[in-house]
A and B are shown apart, each in its own frame.
Chain A
Amino acid sequence: MHAVIPYVTGALLFGLGVYGVLRRRNAILVLMAVELMLNAVNLILVTADAAVRATLVGVQIESWAYPNGRPAHSGGVFALFVIVLAAAEVGVGLAIVLQYYRMRRAVHVDEVALHHDDEQVSR
């Protein structure tokens, strides 16, 4: 396999995610774009794991570097961790979005007031 194909795919997906985060007004679509970015990072982690492991076959590593045995599949494990983080992020993010929708009846991120207004909004 040529590792450059999934690498470039991941880079393009990340660029699409950045574009979506900056372009979209709807908070849910922004979250979808963030998911695209996290997926791109996962893809690059898994690809790097596969490519590096295929390259390092037969390379002697100092034994003091890994007291608990030679690590393997580290990129995959990291990808799993990132997937769990993404699930937690989307849970909390959607709770915030829904609460904001309950207060303002809108989910447009560029209309969120960053300053504190004195008159209390009706809930």
Chain B
Amino acid sequence: MTVADVLLLALGAVAVGSGAAVVTSNHLVRSGLYLVISLGAVAGLYLVLGAELVAWVQILVYVGAVVVLLLFAVMLTRAPIGPSRDLDRPAWPALIVGGGVGLGLAALLADAFRWTLYDRPPPGTAERMGTQIFGQWVLPFEVLSILLLAALVGAIVLSRPDIGAREGEEA
């Protein structure tokens, strides 16, 4: 057990624990805040694994944008502040499928990698990652920008009822 192992175990426990709280909590807002903790712990795991840029992008985009967007949606749908009774469906199918997938994948990966010790790789700093993105991966990067534009236009069209209304139909 090295220092990296201890950090990985602690951050992984935090990530899984708060992830479990996300899917079991009765409070909508608390779910969102537990999601922040889980995503932050995963960002810490990225840092330990040497992917610095991914960790900071995770903090910026996920914690900074996605979770804020989700909390905005919670507020816009007039969710109650207190606990809600009607958030869940029957647990059995979800428990069977989710538990099966999670434990099955965990057993598969644990059996595949055993307790092998790896060296820590050189960190993926912004300079190295940028060289890769704009060298090897420049075409997917450009395609991704088109996808972002399409998502932007799609979100605007969806949320404006006066665009795309059929003829004779009042918007």
Contact = CB atoms under 8 A, between A and B. Distances in A.
Contact of B97 (A19, A26, A80): A19
Does more than half of chain A's interface fall in helix, strand or loop, or is it mixed? helix
Interface in A1-50: 1-20, 22-26, 28-29, 31-33, 35-36, 39, 42-43, 46-47, 49-50
A30 B19 CA distance: 13
A91 B102 contact: no
B86 to A, nearest CB: 7
Q: Size band of the B side of the interface?
A: 35 or more
B105 A11 contact: yes
Interface residues of A, number: 78
Contacts of B66: 35, 86-87, 90
12 contacts: A5-B12, A15-B100, A16-B16, A19-B98, A28-B73, A54-B121, A68-B135, A73-B129, A74-B136, A86-B61, A88-B147, A99-B159
Interface of A: 1-20, 22-26, 28-29, 31-33, 35-36, 39, 42-43, 46-47, 49-51, 53-55, 57, 68-69, 71-77, 79-81, 83-92, 94-99, 101-102, 107-108, 110, 123
